[in-house]
Amino acid sequence: MLDRIPVALAPTDLKDLSLAQLHAWLAELGAESYRARQVARWVYKVGVTQVSAMTDLPKALREALEQRAQITQLPNLEVYQASDGTRKLRYQLHDGAVIESVLIREPKRLTLCLSTQAGCRIGCAFCLTTKGGLRRHLCPAEIIDQIIQARRQLEPSEPLTNLVFMGMGEPFDNYSHTVQALRLITHPDAVGFSARRITVSTSGVVPAIRKFGAEGLRVNLAVSLNAPNDAIRSQLMPINKRWPISELLAACRDYPLPPSRRITFEYVLLAGINDRAEHAEQVARLLHGLRCKINLIPFNEFSGAGFHRPSAETVKRFQAILLEHYLTATVRESRGREIGAACGQLAERPPQIPCTLDRAPTIG
């Protein structure tokens, strides 16, 4: 029977349901258990936005779903194209909030950088996103739909290979929605993305790092370090006053890493602030014995930042010192800077820099 519950006042967003919730919800409608896999395939793998498109569902079930459910998609998509192939996807949500995600094309990978919040309240001094504060958390549907929308921008021959939760917001400040989104993203009956190719970045919310390690998601963890000591880190990242480096690294040392995995420490290099040789030596001592790698990020400048990008020679010297201490240290190549799509440049306001704008086609 498909008439066991009354029509809901507000339709249920299918992308906001976990797989278990979807099973239970469809069971209340009287649907067989295997219908949840069919619905999930249409929503996440095919990317339909109308229940009527789910052609292998019985007509009665489709009619019930049309009355009770909706499949939302992020509205008002604009696509900014950089000369290096980077694309910034910008959405103005129904409540006026703005979020951005970034498609980063590299020789052997195609990465989507996802947002988990509209804005951010962490307050890192070198990040444009946080300048406007936190507008709101994103729900699981809004996080996941960034993947679905991004895939629509790609040719069938260019699949997404990696996901990084390094866009707007602090993922662990929106913990429950981030985790629910990750469970759907990695579930084979939903998005079906490999956990090994997903990285979640945090500014250092220590209790959440410990909790996240127990979730069993087996995705990669990245931690924004950005300073060699508490004095500098507290100036750059107010969160350090709550959870200083010693507590942060203790949580990292306790983190249950899968075999052959390492924690990534992100380090934004700011000219004259945290990029000296003695700072590199301090970082090497801090990370000694940790199963990790260091991703050096030369600062991506924006108007009013108050910081500057270090010279290429300074970056190479910093990296060389870390390598001398037998640490794995790479330099992240900045992509999409001309369209405000590089690390630390995502923001609610429209970009005030030259860019090429292509409006995406309307997709039903």
Query: What range defines the domain where residue 119 resides?
Result: 77-359
pTM for the whole structure: 0.91
Residue 351 lies in a domain: yes
Residue 341 lies in a domain: yes
Q: Are residues 320 and 354 in the same domain?
A: yes
Residue 5 lies in a domain: no
Residue 146 lies in a domain: yes
Q: Is 292 a catalytic residue?
A: no
Q: Are residues 46 and 132 in the same domain?
A: no
Q: Are residues 170 and 260 in the same domain?
A: yes
Q: Does 361 have pLDDT greater than 50?
A: no
Contacts of 221 (CB under 8 A, 6+ apart): 199, 200, 202, 209, 212, 213, 255, 263, 264
Domain count within the chain: 2
Residue 4 lies in a domain: no
Residue 6 lies in a domain: no
- The catalytically annotated residue of 100, 142, 301, 338 is 100
The string of pLDDT tens digits covering residues 28-71 is: 999 999 999 999 999 999 999 999 999 999 999 999 999 999 99
The string of pLDDT tens digits covering residues 119-132 is: 999 999 999 999 98
Residue 304 has a pLDDT of: 85
Q: Are residues 201 and 58 in the same domain?
A: no
Q: Are residues 34 and 152 in the same domain?
A: no
The CATH number of the domain where 51 resides is what? 1.10.150.530
Q: Is 100 a catalytic residue?
A: yes
Residue 341 has a pLDDT of: 87
d(CA 199, CA 268): 17
Q: Are residues 100 and 203 in the same domain?
A: yes
Q: 332 with 309: CB under 8 angstroms?
A: no
d(CA 243, CA 206): 7
Task: Give the Cα-Cα-Cα angle 212, 214, 217 (nearest 5 degrees).
Answer: 70
Contacts of 231 (CB under 8 A, 6+ apart): none
Q: Are residues 92 and 211 in the same domain?
A: yes
- The catalytically annotated residue of 292, 343, 348, 355 is 343
The CATH number of the domain where 203 resides is what? 3.20.20.70
**143 is written with which tokens?**
């996080």
Q: Are residues 271 and 350 in the same domain?
A: yes
